[in-house]
Amino acid sequence: MNVQKLFDLSGKTIVLTGAAGNLGSKYVEGFSQAGANVVLADINFQQCKKLEKKINKKYDTNSLSVKVDLTDPKSIKGMVAKILKKYSTIDVLINNAAYQGNNKIRTNGFDGLDLKTWNRAIDVNLTGVFLLSQEIGKIMIKQKNGNVINISSTYGIVGADQRIYGKSGQNSAVFYAATKSAILNLTRYLAAYWNRTGIRVNTFSPGGVENNQDKTFVKKYSEKTMIGRMAKKDEYVGALIFLASDASSYMTGSNLIIDGGWTAW
């Protein structure tokens, strides 16, 4: 047994959606440091290009930025074609991108949510995961090897505690809870469907991350956790490296929860 080799991602091709986001950019850096070639997939192409240039220079990797609209099957197929042209294989898919809406949408609550917003969230957070997993799954079947990681949330497991929000604008919307909960069983279904094909499928469920939110909200949120604070932006990198690497080789159909103890009380 070689522990360093277990976590080594050298030469692996990892497709990460939502790569331009606050957490996505941290994952990109972590994977790059572990030796992977990361496909930075996002609607925000310019931000991905900036990050790509930075990490390739810093870690001597061979990453690729691709603009993709997860609600458009043609856009997904085009992205996959570009990836295969450059790398030939896809080792890991991380369905990280998610639509959460703006403060106005969240503070409007359940009663004030319009159908257009609901449908957009379903399209990005759930249908996008389905389409991308379906397309890349075909490739992994041919390879007889692959690893899919779906990102859920604490609020895919338990109900959003409305008492901690007040007028902070951080209210978690109903569509976020519904789609993140659906992700959990989509993972189980795919793990079962692709059993013994060489493809593993798992979920990662993180808790809230401190990011200049309302101080009262941060205090109330922190009181709900056993650790007594929100997560830092880089505290989930290790979990993703574990799931993406051979360190988790006997793990499929599971949900890794890291939420500071929120759901363990």
> Residue 95 is encoded by which pair of tokens?
């369905």
Calpha distance 256→260 (Å, rounded): 12
Does residue 176 have an active-site annotation?
yes
Residue 213 CB partners (closer than 8 Å, separation 6+): 168, 170
14, 37 contact by CB (below 8 A): yes
- Lookup result for tokens 């979990």: 239
Residue 217 CB partners (closer than 8 Å, separation 6+): 164, 165, 166, 168, 170
248 φ, ψ to 5°? -110, 30
**Catalytic option among 99, 165, 176, 236:** 176
151, 239 contact by CB (below 8 A): no
Calpha distance 243→239 (Å, rounded): 6
**Cα-only R_g, the chain:** 18
Active centre residues (catalytic): 176
